[in-house]
Amino acid sequence: MIKITFPDGQVREFENGITPFQVALSISEGLARNVLAANLNGEVVDSSTPIEADAALQLLTWNDADGKKTFWHSSAHLLAEAIEALYPGTKFGIGPAIENGFYYDIDLGEQEFGSDQFKAIEDKMLELARTKNEYVRTSVSKADAISYFQEKGDEYKLELIDGLADGSITFYNQGNFTDLCRGPHIPNTGFIKSVKLLSVAGAYWRGDEKRKQLTRIYAITFPKAKELEEYLTLLEEAKRRDHRKLGKEMELFAFSEKVGMGLPLWLPKGTLLRERLENFLRRAQVRAGYSPVITPHIASKELYVTSGHYAKYGKDSFQPIRTPDENEEFFLKPMNCPHHCEIYKTKPRSYKDLPLRLAEFGTVYRYEQSGELHGLTRVRGFTQDDAHIFCRPDQVEDEFMKVIDLVLYVFKALGFDSYSAQVSLRDKENREKYIGNDEDWDRAESAIIRSAEAKGLPTVIEYGEAAFYGPKLDFMVKDALGRKWQLGTIQVDYQLPQRFELEYTGSDNMKHRPVMIHRAPFGSLERFVAILIENTAGNFPLWLSPDQIAVLPISEKYEDYANELYLRLQEKDLRGYVDHRNEKMGRKIRDAEIAKVPFMIVVGEKEQAEGIVSVRKKGDGDVGSMTLDAFIAMAQEEIQSLTYEK
């Protein structure tokens, strides 16, 4: 007999060799019908895997993230089977699950393919799903695996096999399709009840622009048809909220091929939006004791050699900038932290000077492959609301908790109410990708966990997600469409102070090493704005709107009065425009609504004669007539309440 421990702590005895499916069946037939896979001692496995020793077991269904991932990875195999049936001779790259659905990279040779073929593939997938073919795992020797794909003529699978050790190779078969795969998979194809192919794109093999471009097919599946319908409705809403679409319509930002891919141009209204976000955080930082700094956009290569960034990312960065002096090499700044270390070193520091908090809205540049660029969420040049806190070891947890407070303050002000905190730690096994010793890492990881607990912050732990120089606390924000984004981050770093030989004189008159805390509540300002646009559908809170007010004169006779009102609004730091167009009032109001202007002030004969304004609010319609001073007071009160500045 073996003992199995369930997530709730319950322990039960079973016969040696029992499978997760059989365990589920012993609990209830309903549960067994819904089990897709299992988490066995921290590893996701097939539900048919024999359990041969005492173990911790979690049965995975569609309601679990790993259950969905297994479902979608299995669906990728079903997609491949359908494609092979409809397009004989197709060669296959990889087909992983992604956050929503899955994709498969394929080489169709000379065969044409486009979205008009989607329906035929969807129908074939559903036909194959109804056969309820089992996903069967088989261990294969390296020689047999090579022989199989040589005979099939699939060079992509052969290249993947080349990097695998003999004895670790497995095939999965369902129906007439066999694939190289480590698994796990759902029990059979019958679980897949609804299918939708979403898009097709080009993708270089193994992400290498010098390799062949394959066809990448994105798709999604569900265990119920109703769930697909709900997802497609959500997808339509996502298209309506797409920050690329709204950013263009609202004249916030643009891209230019001549400027370069992934390098956004901020238009006047977008610049106002950015400035308001920056000023909001600047005020909060001043209150929290931060000092502003500015560092150059380029730096000597030696700076990043010292920090360790060059060894880790040099090959994937923009290449060196050379000068007429052959001994000089500069890099576009990929991060701000090494610069801040050099600012720390500009003069001797005492324990009384710490913590030292340096803050910068610093633009950095990182080379992203063209296929990975996406609006503002993935760019090559972006601005971080970066700050680095240099503190004594005994100050780390207190400073860390203060940063948590600042991040949550920002989220509350911007309406991000749904978020989770992820403690990103080292990989349990592969320690080669990190710098520093275990003792420092243990101290840093413990400080993060204790600080989060002290603030009552619910967290999940993810191993292998730490930065190369230290662990971090990442804030995962869920937007209005239920999608998760990593925004704010806080990191504890014992390594860079060592590499830059940072010191302070302690109360014992001896030299000591400070600890460094990296933090960025917004993260990338570009990504933050993109998510903010989509979360609000462009309906920004009043304090943040580029155009807060549209003054709408009924006719040109009232333009002087409209201009006079607008000047008084500007004096009170309320911004917008006067619509001087020779258009009907209905059109002016409609255009202001489309432009998502929060308030409209309508002025005509009555308003001018009585010295008042008629106010409309987006979404609420007519608010009524009032004096301009009364309107200004109302607007300012709303701004103060939304930015927590009272």
Output the known binding site for Zn(2+).
337, 388, 518
What token pair was written down for 542?
Answer: 């009043």
Give me the sign of the Cα torsion angle 63, 66, 70, 75.
positive
**What's the one-letter identity of residue 342?**
E
Please state, in angstroms and rounded to a whole number, the distance separating the CA atoms of residues 482 and 438.
37
What the block records as the tokens of 110 is 């000379």
Cα 323 off chain centre by = 37
Cα angle value 403/409/413 (rounded, 5°)? 150
Name the catalytic one among 384, 422, 495, 548.
384
Catalytic residue flag (residue 366):
yes
Concerning whether 337 is annotated as a catalytic residue, the answer is yes
Burial 308-331 (b: 16+ CB within 10 A, else e): bbbebeeeebeeeeeeeeeeeebb
Residue 548 · residue 575 · CB < 8 Å: yes
Give the number of other Cβ atoms within 10 Å of residue 525's Cβ.
21
Alpha carbons 27 and 14: distance in angstroms, whole number: 12
Between the alpha carbon of residue 355 and those of residues 400, 451, 516, 611, the distances in Å are 11, 17, 10, 55
Q: What is the DSSP letter of 345?
A: T
* C-alpha distances out from residue 356 to 306, 340, 385, 500, Å: 22, 11, 17, 16
Per the annotation, the verdict on 422 as an active-site residue is: no
* 529 touches 243 (CB < 8 A): yes
Contacts of 430 (CB under 8 A, 6+ apart): 464
Choosing from 274, 366, 402, 616, which is the catalytic residue?
366
**Which listed residue (154, 157, 337, 349) is catalytic?**
337
Classified as helix, coil or strand, 636 is helix
* Contact call for residues 356 and 293 (beta carbons, < 8 A): no
H helical segments located in 288-354: 301-307, 309-313, 337-344
Contact 106, 214 (CB under 8 A): yes
- Say how far apart CA 156 and CA 105 lie, in whole Å: 10
DSSP 8-state code for residue 310: H
Give the residue from 532, 485, 96 showing the smallest Cα distance to 277. Answer: 532
Q: For this structure, is 518 an active site residue?
A: yes
Cα distance between residue 122 and residue 120, in whole Å: 6
Two structure tokens written together for 552: 């709408």
Annotated binding site: 337, 388, 518
Token couple for 251:
């004249």
Question: Which stretch of DSSP H or E encloses residue 147?
Answer: helix 142-152
Q: Is 384 a catalytic residue?
A: yes
Q: Are 37 and 47 in contact (CB under 8 A)?
A: yes
Given 518, 596, 616, 618, the catalytic residue: 518
Residues with Cβ within 8 Å of residue 393, at least 6 apart in sequence: 443, 515
Say which DSSP state 189 is in: G
Residue 495 falls in the annotated catalytic set? no
To the query of whether residue 297 is one of the catalytic residues in this protein, the response is no
Identified catalytic residue from 185, 339, 388, 402: 388
Q: Of the listed 105, 385, 386, 579, which one is catalytic?
A: 386
- Which of 196, 216, 349, 472 is an active site residue? 472
Give the residue numbers annotated as catalytic, written as ranges.
337, 366, 384, 386, 388, 472, 518
